[in-house]
Amino acid sequence: MHISTLADFATKPRGEETARDKTIALKRISGFTSRYIATIEDLRNVTLERVGETPLNIKIDQTVDTIITGYEEGYFEKIRRIPLIETAILNVTISDAADLLFKNYYLSTSNDCDLFSSVKVKKKLRYSGCNPGVESSFLTPHPLSEQTYALSLGLPANTSLSPWEPTSSVPLTYLHIIPNAFSLVQGVVLSNGVVLVPQRCAVHRVTESVREHIKNGRKRTLRQYKEMFAIGQYFARAYYHATIEQMTKLAPYMEFLKNNPQIRIQFGSKHHPFLPFFGFDSARFVSSDATAEILYVPAGNPCEHSPLFTTQLTSLLLQDNSTSHDTILLIKRSESRRWFDHHDAIYAMLQSLAEPRGIKVNVFADDPVPTAEETRRMFGSAFLIVAPHGAGLSNLILSKPGTMVLEAQCYRHGTVIHCYKSLALALGLRYYGLIFHKQCMDVTAEDIRKPVTQFLLWKDLERL
């Protein structure tokens, strides 16, 4: 197992600039990860020599002896004991993580924190409650040292980040290099009797899916590749999971993948509109189960929770910094279950508040869906985003830090989903969860007016 730390670097970009500046932030990250990428290249060469000595012989119907998931305590030690699997880990100190990642984070708030906190939460968010004070939530930024749980997202269980000591070490991410492996596009790897499952949704269904694929193994003809980079995830074709849980796995390895264009990329949604922004030839993408002589498996993403490093890096890569940050964006959905029945009234209310201030209100509709460039421009220019819960909020990955996000939660049988709250917190956005004992489609303009007015009044003071 190979661990890269910042001690490996002779120099490191520093200065007074914040991570909001895209060019400076990406340059800093490149400095941090250069040794890590070099280690991966070295391990690739070792593995190429190893597989060159034996022909590809992957039995899809092999017996499964062990299942290891990325959530487990002692995960790295368990992986280390498996022959032939190489692992590179990007380690940084807590101090360096604070220098590398976004500086400011904001407490989430709501119109009803008691209700927001008492409902059953799917995939409960571990590191943030609900702060009833709008001013303390929106006006007061909090440093990374107050987000220790957020920093641990995506890491194996019991990865300790406490106490918060500047010299303490933490892995930001990691990559496995596995010879002669079979990879399911849903995020499951099978090699030599070992099933490896990076963090993903529905881990409890892994045994069932593996058994099904082994059962059908002899009936299937799978494509075989020399080298493949596997970023598959459960619900691979759903927009949120493709954007936030799959695409973010690519971000730390852009240089490595561009230096090795022969490596195919297994991605469950190969026609995703943002992929052209990464500059990869669409022919490289594989959207089905496949085998590879060398399989590269990055750290997974916990279901509906956003790890800081990979999420922020993806956002920086995708952001359009040429846009100003001065519009309001209202998301309009055509789907009947998650939309605003009172959309026109909400739009008129936003216009009445925005027009005297010289602020433009844009509408992001899904019929038809805007182009990727239009989407990037609309989300990048918005300092306030108003939306019902739904996949359109996955585009927050394009938003600038400090943006206010007002999400009308869909209260169904006492259950809400906090995935966009997690995404907002990871990206340094200001999150306001609007919740009532009713569906998001029933939210009215008056329900939304108060928090929007409060935020705009604060923006007025900011301009003075």
Q: Please give the CATH number for the structural domain made up of 107-140+319-463.
A: 3.40.50.360
Categorize the per-residue pLDDT at 121 as very low, low, confident or very high, splitting at 50, 70 and 90: low
Q: What is the pLDDT of residue 6?
A: 36
Q: What is the pLDDT of residue 372?
A: 96
Within 8 A by CB and 6+ apart from 211, the residues are none
Intervals of CATH 3.40.50.360 along the chain: 107-140+319-463
| Cβ atoms of residues 103 and 146 within 8 Å | no
Q: Per-residue pLDDT tens for 219-232?
A: 567 889 999 999 98
Q: Per-residue pLDDT tens for 143-163?
A: 887 776 777 788 887 775 555
Q: Where are the alpha helices (DSSP H) in 60-188?
A: 75-80, 94-100, 113-118, 134-138, 148-152
At residue 410, does pLDDT exceed 60?
Answer: yes
Q: Is 61 helix (H, G, I), strand (E, B) or coil?
A: coil
> Where does 258-372 show beta strands of DSSP type E?
264-266, 285-286, 290-298, 327-332, 360-365
Q: Per-residue pLDDT tens for 357-380?
A: 999 999 999 888 999 999 999 999
Torsions phi, psi for 188 (to 5 deg): -135, 135
Q: Per-residue pLDDT tens for 61-109?
A: 556 778 899 988 899 999 999 988 999 999 888 888 888 899 899 989 9
How does strand 382-388 pair with strand 327-332? parallel
